[in-house]
Amino acid sequence: MRFLVDNNLSPKVVAIILANLPPVMDDLHRGAIVVLGEDSVQVRSLPILGR
């Protein structure tokens, strides 16, 4: 599991990660890409075929 984040994590970013990580753990274990935003969660299962 990898996180692409700035070295200066604000408390707001930490809260977003902690609030959204449990529901997407199974997706992450299957190798999905998860993008967390303030008001959105995007899950992209891999491999992405046909693109």
Nearest Cα neighbor of 31 from 49, 48, 14 is 48
Of residues 27 and 2, more confidence is placed in 27
Report angle CA 43, 45, 46 to the nearest 5 degrees: 140
pTM score, two decimals? 0.65
Confidence of residue 6 (pLDDT cuts 50, 70, 90): low
Alpha carbon distance 50, 41 (integer Å) = 23
Six-digit token string for 17: 């990660």
Note whether residue 16 is domain-resident: yes
Q: How many structural domains compose the chain?
A: 1
pLDDT at 7 (0 to 100): 63
Note whether residue 50 is domain-resident: no
Note whether residue 30 is domain-resident: yes
Instruction: Give pLDDT tens digits for 16-45.
Output: 888 999 999 999 988 899 998 878 899 999
Alpha carbon distance 27, 30 (integer Å) = 5
Note whether residue 6 is domain-resident: no
Full domain range(s) for residue 38: 11-44
Note whether residue 34 is domain-resident: yes
Six-digit token string for 48: 């992405």
Note whether residue 25 is domain-resident: yes
Alpha carbon distance 17, 31 (integer Å) = 17
